[in-house]
Amino acid sequence: MAILPLVKAPDPRLKLVSQPVEKVDAALRAFMADMVETMYDAKGIGLAAIQVGVPKRVVVIDLDPQGPESKVLYIVNPELVWSSDEPNTYNEGCLSVPEFWDDVHRPAKIRVRYMDENNKTQEVEADGLFATCLQHEIDHINGLLFIDHLSKLKRNMALRKSAKMKRLEED
């Protein structure tokens, strides 16, 4: 397993719409294991393949990394099939927009269909943090960042901060 380099805003790759995966094979399973290791190393709870520069519709989630409720969910080709009218607001952050958090309004409950790491079609209903995380990661594979849900002023503020941090890391 390896820790992969994170792609950070305003990198244009984060705006790409990721391509579907035909089949989960050994190479994709190994890549997903690297994604999990990368997510844990960065102290995240979700990671989309595009965040490590791979435009595939692949997501990994663990809402309690290395905690007592730790369970990795491998999600390939996720599709939002239902969402509630009831809204929920959650203070979101993102590994690709470091050190910036803000409230994002999303549906409170959702249902997602996806393929798991064994090529089996699954469907899951989610609410709370799980629903927020799923929607956040599905946004990534559709070329959206959580800051795209914010006002233009806040989005520009986040992008400037991220660009500045990126420059500092490169020095």
pLDDT by 10s per residue, the chain, length 171: 799 999 999 999 999 999 999 999 999 999 999 999 999 999 999 999 999 999 999 999 999 998 999 999 999 999 999 999 999 999 999 999 999 999 999 999 999 999 999 999 999 999 999 999 999 999 999 999 999 999 999 999 999 988 888 888 887
pLDDT (0 to 100) of residue 171: 77
pLDDT (0 to 100) of residue 166: 81
CATH of the domain at 56: 3.90.45.10
Domain assignment present for 87: yes
Residue 6 and residue 4: Cα distance in Å, rounded? Answer: 6
pLDDT (0 to 100) of residue 6: 97
**β-sheet bridge partners, residue 73:** 61
Domain assignment present for 72: yes
Selection from 167, 147, 166, 149 nearest residue 157 by Cα? 147
> Cα-flanking dihedrals φ and ψ of residue 80, to 5°?
-75, 115
pLDDT (0 to 100) of residue 170: 82
Domain assignment present for 6: no
Domain assignment present for 145: yes
Judge whether 117 counts as a catalytic residue. no
Residue 50 and residue 19: Cα distance in Å, rounded? Answer: 10
Full-model pTM: 0.96
Domain assignment present for 57: yes
Q: Which domain holds residue 51?
A: 12-170
pLDDT (0 to 100) of residue 36: 98
pLDDT (0 to 100) of residue 169: 83
Domain assignment present for 7: no
Domain assignment present for 2: no
Considering 37, 123, 125, 137, which one is annotated as catalytic? Answer: 137
Count structural domains, the chain: 1
Domain assignment present for 4: no
Cβ atoms of 9 and 97 within 8 Å: the answer is: yes
